[in-house]
Structure 1
Amino acid sequence: MNNYAALFQAEGEEIIKLGQSISEEDFTHLLKTLEKNTNNVFLTGCGTSAMAARKVTHTLNVVGISAFYLNPSDAVHGGLGQVKKGDTVIFISKGGSTKELTSFDQNVKEKQAKIVAITENVDSVLAKNADLVVKVKVEKELDEFNMLATTSTLAVISLFDVIATILMKDENFTKKAFLLNHPSGKVGQRLAKDVRND
């Protein structure tokens, strides 16, 4: 096996391990939280976690969840005004103590929005203040220093890919509904053709 193929395999194996190790109770709680939520869902994070939060936001939107990315720096300068009672705010943070995020989690709590922490550190500040903690931990990042947020970021995205797929099935999400949310691009073309042929 060549070097790059081995790296692909290593990353894939970490995702498989996550599927085997993640708490079923916490996973189900997160699934039900999104399934039952009739308000808005906000996702927030810093650095690479922000990129994961943006991707998850898009995925949830596609399957009909009203999700929005909450920029941490904007949040503390008035952006928190969009968060209302009954909303869900999902904090994505590997270490769970990023000061840009811990600077406003209490504000979210006072607004009576539900706090979900996606982190590998269940003893972190965010985890202790959360209503639900989902531990997402990988044994090793892909780089030789075990520092670059690679596999851990993919693990968070994979978690919500699985959640979104289950939501589609549980909510009987049809191709027609999919097309209404995603009318353009190659996906839109395929969906339009399938809908016409159904």
Structure 2
Amino acid sequence: MVYTMQNYFEQAKQVWKTESEALAHIREVITKETFNNVIDLLTNNNGRIFISGCGTSGMAAKKIAHTLTCVEKPASYLNPADAIHGGLGVLQKEDILILVSKGGNTEELLPLLEVAKKKAVTVVGVTENKSSAIGKHVNHLLNVSVPEEPDMFNMLATASTLAVIALFDAISIQLMETTGFTKEQFQIIHPGGAVGDRLSHDTN
């Protein structure tokens, strides 16, 4: 398509349509059993939570770590480059490692998977490829796939990244229920910004 000022906005609407369809598709690919198992795992774990990914998946991993932390499930982003140079010492038994990889064979993440297995760390994989190394060798697999990406090459990780983030938004909100997370807790950990101001004045 030749892009002109006349069709800029029409193309933008098509992007949003494709991305909204990707979000709706999550309901078709994530099973109730797997979702519930991950909720139980994160609710009842006695260890720490680490999340790792590369590139765009790494950006999603950082967002997920922040959201989990905001609901009193402290999570840290584990940089895969630093991890294989001694950083893997942070992983201990009873910890949870979440690996985010669209294709499931990200070379930088495979050593983390191997070490996690040796150290009895529970691994949650997030990938669209069930036949990948991550897809086949994790304790819990969240098989997130989308019908297509909205770019002209069907390659830019946009809709798929939104789907991963939306999945963990749902997980985090469910954890608020299962852990009894309160508005008072939220006010303590989020005193700043518009949210903090709203919490400080909201007595409901």
Residue 102 of structure 2 contacts residue 128 of structure 2 at CA under 8 Å; is this kept in 1? yes
Residue 91 of structure 2 contacts residue 121 of structure 2 at CA under 8 Å; is this kept in 1? yes
Aligned equivalent of 1:114, options 93, 106, 122: 122
Aligned equivalent of 1:177, options 185, 189, 202: 185
Residue 18 of structure 1 contacts residue 155 of structure 1 at CA under 8 Å; is this kept in 2? yes
- Alignment partner, residue 64 of structure 1: 72
Aligned residues: 196
Residue 68 of structure 2 contacts residue 172 of structure 2 at CA under 8 Å; is this kept in 1? yes
Percent identity over paired residues? 43
Deviations 1:110-142 (A, max 9, x none): 111101110111111112221111100001011
Alpha-carbon offset, residue 57 of structure 1 = 0.2
Letter in 1 for 2:51: L
**Which ranges of 4 or more aligned residues in structure 1 deviate by more than 4 Å?**
none
Alpha-carbon offset, residue 8 of structure 1 = 1.2
- Alignment partner, residue 95 of structure 2: 87
Alpha-carbon offset, residue 3 of structure 1 = 2.6
- Alignment partner, residue 146 of structure 1: 154
Alpha-carbon offset, residue 29 of structure 1 = 1.0
Residue 40 of structure 1 contacts residue 88 of structure 1 at CA under 8 Å; is this kept in 2? yes
Tell me, yes or no, if structure 1 residue 186 matches structure 2 residue 204. no
- Alignment partner, residue 139 of structure 2: 131
Residue 14 of structure 2 contacts residue 150 of structure 2 at CA under 8 Å; is this kept in 1? no
Alpha-carbon offset, residue 155 of structure 1 = 0.5
Tell me which structure has the larger Cα radius of gyration.
2
Tell me, yes or no, if structure 1 residue 2 matches structure 2 residue 10. yes
Gaps of 5+ in 1: none
Structure 2 CA distance for aligned equivalents of residues 105 and 3 of structure 1 = 40
SS class of match (2:129) = coil
- RMSD value, Cα: 1.2
Alpha-carbon offset, residue 179 of structure 1 = 1.1
Residue 39 of structure 1 contacts residue 66 of structure 1 at CA under 8 Å; is this kept in 2? no
Q: Give TM-score scaled by structure 1 length.
A: 0.95
Structure 2 CA distance for aligned equivalents of residues 142 and 168 of structure 1 = 32
Structure 2 CA distance for aligned equivalents of residues 91 and 117 of structure 1 = 5
Structure 2 CA distance for aligned equivalents of residues 181 and 81 of structure 1 = 28
Tell me, yes or no, if structure 1 residue 44 matches structure 2 residue 52. yes
SS class of match (1:81) = helix
SS class of match (1:85) = coil
Deviations 1:68-116 (A, max 9, x none): 1000000001111111101000000011111100123111111111011
Alpha-carbon offset, residue 172 of structure 1 = 2.2
Aligned equivalent of 2:39, options 16, 31, 41: 31
Letter in 1 for 2:175: L
SS class of match (1:68) = strand
SS class of match (2:109) = helix
